[in-house]
Structures are given as C-alpha cells and as structure tokens.
Amino acid sequence: MTSTAASPRPALLAARPGPWWRDAVTYQVYIRSFADGDGDGMGDIAGIRSRLGYLAELGVDAVWINPWYPSPQADAGYDVADYRDIEPAFGTLADAEALIEQAHGLGLRVLLDIVPNHTSDEHPWFVEALASGPGSPARRRYLFRPGKGPDGALPPNDWKAVFGGPAWRRVTEPDGRPGEWYLHLFDPKQPDLNWDDPTVRTEFLDILRFWFDRGADGFRIDVAHGLVKDPAMPDLGRHDPRGLVEPQLLGAATLSDHPHWDRPGVHEIYRTWRKLAEGYDPPKVFVAEAWVSSPARLAAYLRPGELNTAFDFDFVIAPWNAESLRRTATSSLLAHDSVGAPVMWVLSNHDITRHVTRLGRPDARVAKDPLRSDHHGEADPVLGRRRARAALLLELALPGGVYLYQGEELGLEEVEDLPEEVLQDPTWARSHHTERGRDGCRVPLPWTASGPSLGFGAAPGWLPQPASWGGPGGLSVEAQAEDPGSMLSFYRTALRLRRELAAQGALGAGGAASLTWLDLGEDVVAFRREPGFVCVLNAGEGAAPLPAGRQLLASGPMEEGQLPPDTSVWLSTTWSAPSAPAAS
C-alpha cells in the first residue's frame, strides 16, 4: 500500500517536452493532517516522508506542502514566525532537506508555501515594531496608523478582516499608553506587511533564495493579490449587516479599484520574483493563490516575466451543469492563452468545502465564500462521489495542470459535524461562534481501516475522523487500495492514463485552440483534443444518480457509435464522434 520502491517516474518526466509544470498534476499535502510520524496527533515531515511512495504510486508529478515554518499556529501555520526554519512540531531543517531529496529521488517535485502578505505577531520584526514605537523603521515594515476620533480610539478605516471583525487592532505603546493601530486583513495575530518598505522586498527575495538553494522547486504564493494597499487607506464603505463579509476570501476584489485586493502594484513584486526563479537551472516555479474577479484579472499575473501559474478557482464556484462547465473552461482557457500560460484546475483545497460534499448538494455548487456556512440542503455523498469522478476526468482531460487536495483521491467528504469544542479555525472565534470555518476539510487522512486515528498516527489526530471512514468498507487507503471499483483505484487509473496519453502525444498542444467542443446532448460535456483524444462526461444538473457501475473510464480504439447513452465518462485515444455537429 505504501511501498517506497523506486519508480520509473523521473525518466518519464524528463522525457516530456516543455517545462514540467505546464501540465503537472500536483498533490497538496496539508501537513497537519497528512500523516503523523511521531504520534503527537499532528502531522509532520516524518509522516510525509513515510508516505511519499504512496504519492509516487498514485501518479502525481509534484507535491505542494502547506506552511511548515515555526508558527504559533493561530491560523494553522499561515502565521509565520520564522521563514527560514521548520516548526518543531513538524521536524527540523535537516528533515525538510531530506524530504526534498527523497521526493526528487521518486520523481516528485516539491513546492513550498510562502506567506508574504503578513507575518505572525510573534515574528521578531513585529515584536521589534511594537517595542520601537511610532515612526520607527521597524514600524514601517507593517501598516501602523493613528486611530480616528478625539483620542485615536476608533480604527483608521472601516476595513474588515477575512476571519471576521475589524481589520485593525490598537497597540499599547512602550510608554504604556494606548497608541497606534495595525492592519491585519486576517487574524489579529497576522499583521500585514508594508510592501512599500524596501527591506520587506529584499527579505522575501532572500527567503525564496534560502529554500531554492535547498532544492525547493517552487512556491505557492499565499494571498498573492493582497500585498499592496492603497496608501490613502480609504473606507470601503460597504458593510455586511453582520459586519463580516467585507473582505471575502472568495468573490473578493469585485471593485475595479479595490484599496487592498488585486492592486496594480503587486505585479512589479512578482517580476522580481520571477527573475530570481529564472536564475536557477532548471528555473523555479510559482503558483499564485489570487482570488480575483475574472479570468482576465488572473491572467494578468501570468504575463511574460511574471508568475508561471495561478490556481483557477472557477470550477470551485461553477454550478454542476454542462453549460456552465463548458463556459467556465472556455473562458479560463482563452484568458490564459492570451498570456501564453497554462490553466491550473482546482476542485478543492484546505480552505474550501470538499467537492464530494459540494457536488452532492441539491444545487451542486460551493458556498460563495468558503469561510461562511452556506449550506444549500443536505449533501448526498454517493451522488457527490459520482460527480467527483466526472469532475476529476474533466480536469485531467483539459489542457493545463491540475492541483489535487489530499484525501480527494479517497473520496473524502467534508466533516460537517465536528464537535464545537474541537474547532480550531480562527473564523470560529472571530465570528463569535457563528461561522464554523474550514476544519471540516482538514480532518486527518484515514490510511488504515482501524487504529486510534485510522493509520494517521499512533494517537488520535488533532481533529476526530468520522467512524464511517474506518472499517473494511470505509474510505481508508487500506480499504480502497485493492478494490478496482474504489475512488483510489479510479484516481490511479486516470492519472496513469493521462500520463500515457501525454507520452503518446495524443493530447497535442495545450490551450483553447487545441480543443473542439462536441455537441452530444444537453447534459453532456464533450470535447476532442487533436490529434487523438476525446473526453465525454455526463453533467446533468438533476439529482438523479447514475446507476452504480456506469461510470466508465477507458482508453484505446473505440468504434463510432460505441458510446452508450448512459455512460458517464469515456476517455479515448482514437474515438471519433458520431455525426454530431461540432460546436466551437
């Protein structure tokens, strides 16, 4: 199940034309919940290392590891206290280096997570800023402002934190008096950096270099669209009655001149980062997390000389029906084509309700904002898993790369009934216990059918797993590994097939131009990629599930007319459409 045997993958990767990242499948390792090597209930580097063979066997090209730096963990590691070391609960710097080397030996690239919008309030810079007082160079690295009102007792403006409440906190000055306010677009323990300060820019280039020199192949950039703020800091003037909604993580930056999201000034920063990355052989790579308002705004981050790739979250918010899937794919492909960048398709991550649950809901779409409880009826996980299979094949069949979130290969659903006392997402406290936050997609992985945390580690994990994940018929790797009908087998087959098809040249070049939509009926998403590949999937909006076993995945020659009407998915190398008219 978790063999670490050497695989032929490095050779396969080397044989592929073009830069590896343009069509890579990257697996997101949420370190806290992937595997616990030392039995303290928290995932760690030793745990990841023990399961790298599983990832190579699964057939992915790269891993992205969520922040592993020293951190008070106020936001699960996105509150970094030292960017050049490892959180002791996760391991040591030597462990990190050994992991990178081991992954490379298995043909897996390693992407790390850089958090440039904010540090932890326990970062030495912020500690120094508090001690140094107003006007000091240390304060200029963050966004301190005097308050409004007679005694400066009111926040400098009306901005709201993503996790709830005002985006400002007042500090006590070294002389003991109430003083300035600092900006935190997320938790108060995550003060925003001032990217107009040249020392901030130099420092992050140096941090990137630190990890590149240790073998990291690239970085995922946290809140890539948030670094630059309008120095005038104008009021947003838009409030949700609950005082929570502005800014949203999803659906953000809908204003054309938003004072803190997606400002033009961020692009200059990424040009310097790309230049640094291109100085390595092979060049290092970036993927941006940028929640912006349109595919065109996203593509602006990928112009020549800027970032290589960015997550495309549009399938996350697209309703599950053929028309919307086609429209979403087309607009993303065209926008990315315009800058010569590949799309990076995403269905789930550690901030978003798992897609088995989203797609199993009657209206089959995500909440508009992942941090808000926005349920639209009970989820049917059986329906959700069927749709998840089709969704995976759609992602894998489209030109570009794919990011998988750990556990989606097991068909894990969102754990929506975690007891309130275990919730750790800062959203829970900041929303005064009205928003449960993102813990439901962060529950530790089930590796075995039994044990204190189903093989996650020797002790119960930091969040409890549902009983239904255990047992011989459960969702653990052990329960699924030898079952040809399981979700895990489906992922393995699909990933192998994609790699084989690419190696045979059946997928042709990427981009919208290589793809022709086929009209095979109202609820069918179908397209051909030249020279020899067709993807057909059933994407009806109705809740009627397909009969069990009808989800098909095949490769090889097929005759015209061989597509059964109730087939949900075919992938074929040499299938030609019946006389149906081709739609562009």
Residues that bind ligand NOJ (CB under 6 A): 75, 78, 115, 186, 222-223, 289, 350-351
CB of 225 or CB of 361, closer to ligand NOJ? 225
Q: How far is the CB of 440 from ligand NOJ (least distance, A)?
A: 14
CB of 36 or CB of 75, closer to ligand NOJ? 75
Q: How many CB atoms lie within 10 A of CB 203?
A: 17
Catalytic residues: 222, 289
CB of 79 or CB of 306, closer to ligand NOJ? 79
- Cα separation values, 353 from 96, 280, 347, 436, 569, Å: 29, 37, 10, 11, 24
Task: Please list, in sequence order, all residues whose beta carbon lies within 8 angstroms of the beta carbon of residue 144, skipping any fewer than 6 positions away.
Answer: 129, 134, 171, 180, 181, 182
Q: How many CB atoms lie within 10 A of CB 473?
A: 10
- The position carrying tokens 């022709």 is 516
Q: How far is the CB of 223 from ligand NOJ (least distance, A)?
A: 5
Rg (CA), the chain: 24
Say how far apart CA 551 and CA 347 lie, in whole Å: 19
Q: How far is the CB of 324 from ligand NOJ (least distance, A)?
A: 25
Say how far apart CA 222 and CA 205 lie, in whole Å: 15
CB of 78 or CB of 261, closer to ligand NOJ? 78
Q: Are 404 and 344 in contact (CB under 8 A)?
A: no
Cis preceding linkage at 446, omega within 30: no
Say how far apart CA 317 and CA 367 lie, in whole Å: 8
CB of 56 or CB of 223, closer to ligand NOJ? 223
Give the residue from 119, 290, 113, 112 showing the smallest Cα distance to 192: 119
Say how far apart CA 357 and CA 416 lie, in whole Å: 9
Task: Please list, in sequence order, all residues whose beta carbon lies within 8 angstroms of the beta carbon of residue 442, skipping any fewer than 6 positions away.
Answer: 30, 32, 33, 76, 350, 463
CB of 141 or CB of 430, closer to ligand NOJ? 430
Q: Which amino acid is at 411?
A: G
User: CA neighbours within 13 Å on the CB side: how many for 346?
Assistant: 26
Say how far apart CA 366 and CA 404 lie, in whole Å: 17
Q: How far is the CB of 580 from ligand NOJ (least distance, A)?
A: 42
Q: How far is the CB of 351 from ligand NOJ (least distance, A)?
A: 5
DSSP string, 197-216: SHHHHHHHHHHHHHHHTTT-
Q: How far is the CB of 291 from ligand NOJ (least distance, A)?
A: 9
CB of 445 or CB of 475, closer to ligand NOJ? 445
Q: How far is the CB of 166 from ligand NOJ (least distance, A)?
A: 17
DSSP letter (8 states) at residue 319 = -
Q: Are 409 and 432 in contact (CB under 8 A)?
A: no
Q: How far is the CB of 65 from ligand NOJ (least distance, A)?
A: 13
Q: How far is the CB of 396 from ligand NOJ (least distance, A)?
A: 23
Tokens standing for 313?
């979250």
Determine the length of the chain. Answer: 584
Say how far apart CA 161 and CA 188 lie, in whole Å: 9
CB of 28 or CB of 555, closer to ligand NOJ? 28
CB of 222 or CB of 314, closer to ligand NOJ? 222
Segment (H or E) for 397: helix 381-397
**Do β-strands 62-65 and 144-145 pair in parallel, antiparallel, or remain unpaired?**
unpaired
